[in-house]
Amino acid sequence: MRRIASAPRPDWQRRVEQAGLSWHTPDGLPYWNEAAFYEFTAAEIDPLEQATNELEKISLEAVQYAIDNRLYARMAIPDAAISLIEGSWESEPPSLYGRFDLIYDGCHPPKLLEYNADTPTSLLEAAVVQWYWLNDRFPQADQFNSIHERLLEIWSILAKQMPGAWHFASLEGNVEDYMTVNYLRDTAVQGGANTQYLAIEKIGWNNRLGEFTDLEERPLAHVFKLYPWEWMLKEQFGPFLLRGHTRWLEAPWKMLLSNKAILTVLWELFPESPYLLRAAFEAPGANYVRKPIFGREGANVTVVRDGNVVAQTEGIYADSPCVYQDYHDVPCFDGKYPVVGSWMVNGHACGMGIREDNGPVTQNTSQFVPHIIGS
């Protein structure tokens, strides 16, 4: 694994915008960075793919264990969500996608930081934008990236198994979420689904019908929402989630995997796994990372080395319960600290995207850097 400086394409802004990445320079700060790339050998990709598939397997076992042992209070899951979780788990609904955030240096086994299993972003960048960059800059090279093909595969299945209208919902005014959702919507259309976009704020509840509805008061059959389950439960219409017949994707049981308390369950079940870091609800020693169980985008994370705080981020999750994870060095390349986002789609490890920062905590301002598989 190497980080290599590279000349950006002269018209890179236009090129990434054509691929849908309109937020490449938010607030004047670069998010997409093709002034460098990471190079891997095929032999370095194999352990990453293997680790991702194994982490998916044990994560599903951890969900079953959490349900069997009713660990809801420990995970700060409200009582109102329990029947939603258990009902959706028993009905075995599809799982579309997820992103494991991993520490990886190409030499040692990847280490899991967290699993973004409910509302992962940076999908368009990983699936499409860096693929076009590869074809422009290194057309003879390869990339660990079959994300788009796997999405087409799962939607071709879902369009047959779950016929009817599919609505794709995200927060109104959030460009990144909107483009991510509409990229997924495009793959659904190519897979044969009948789709429509609907802002999450526009979803209504019709008490007479006992259904969630669109702006025309038509019941919503299937909704993919890029909106966290823990937020949905707190909304005005949250109590109606038990009454309506809408099929939600991701399914309610995914709120267990997106909850960082699942890290403690994984450690209890699989302490010998080479891919896990010790996790608990108390500091495990003098070297640890404290993170909120409902946190997102690296907010409210504290890194402690030898008992001293060496990094700390702000955010809106200060009141969230926290877990403590053993500190593990993030590899440093040219002063940058990369974290590998390894993607699961339809049960398959199928690609990665790399975010890097000037410090050890990946945040919403961290840059996306493309990769290749070299010789």
> In this predicted model, which residue has the larger pLDDT, 92 or 234?
234
**Can you give the pLDDT at residue 239?**
93
Residue 168 lies in a domain: yes
**Can you give the pLDDT at residue 364?**
82
Q: 366 pLDDT exceeds 80? A: yes
Average pLDDT of span 279-306: 93
**Can you give the pLDDT at residue 187?**
98
Whether 311 and 338 map to the same domain: the answer is no
Local confidence band at 319 (pLDDT 50, 70, 90 cut-offs): confident
Residue 194 lies in a domain: yes
Q: What are phi and psi of 174, to 5 degrees?
A: -95, 105
Average pLDDT of span 90-110: 93
176 cis-preceded (ω within 30 degrees of 0): no
Whether 118 and 175 map to the same domain: the answer is yes
pLDDT tens digits, 131-152: 999 999 999 999 999 999 999 9
Write down the residue that tokens 């993607």 correspond to: 343
Whether 208 and 316 map to the same domain: the answer is no
pTM: 0.96
Percent of the chain as helix, strand, coil, to the nearest 5: 30, 25, 40
Local confidence band at 290 (pLDDT 50, 70, 90 cut-offs): very high
Q: 8 pLDDT exceeds 80? A: yes
Percent residues over pLDDT 90 in the chain: 91
Whether 244 and 344 map to the same domain: the answer is yes
The three-class DSSP label of residue 359 is coil
**Can you give the pLDDT at residue 284?**
82
Local confidence band at 313 (pLDDT 50, 70, 90 cut-offs): very high
Whether 320 and 363 map to the same domain: the answer is no
CB count within 10 Å of CB 148 equals: 21
Residue 15 lies in a domain: yes
Q: Left (φ > 0), alpha (ψ -120 to 50) or beta: where does 76 sit? A: left
C-alpha span between 328 and 334 (Å, rounded)? 19
Whether 256 and 345 map to the same domain: the answer is yes
Q: What are phi and psi of 365, to 5 degrees?
A: -95, 0
Q: Which two tokens stand for residue 135?
A: 């074809």
For residue 205, the cross-strand partners are 212
Mark which of 304, 326, 348 sits at the end of a domain. Answer: 326
Local confidence band at 92 (pLDDT 50, 70, 90 cut-offs): confident
**Can you give the pLDDT at residue 321?**
94
Whether 340 and 317 map to the same domain: the answer is no
C-alpha span between 289 and 114 (Å, rounded)? 12
**Can you give the pLDDT at residue 28?**
86
The number of domains in the chain is 2
Q: 77 pLDDT exceeds 80? A: yes
The three-class DSSP label of residue 62 is helix
The three-class DSSP label of residue 273 is coil
Local confidence band at 39 (pLDDT 50, 70, 90 cut-offs): very high
CB count within 10 Å of CB 68 equals: 8
What range does the domain containing 300 cover?
279-326
**Can you give the pLDDT at residue 57?**
97
What is the pLDDT of the chain when averaged over all its residues? 95
Q: 375 pLDDT exceeds 80? A: no
Local confidence band at 326 (pLDDT 50, 70, 90 cut-offs): very high
Whether 146 and 41 map to the same domain: the answer is yes
C-alpha span between 125 and 121 (Å, rounded)? 9
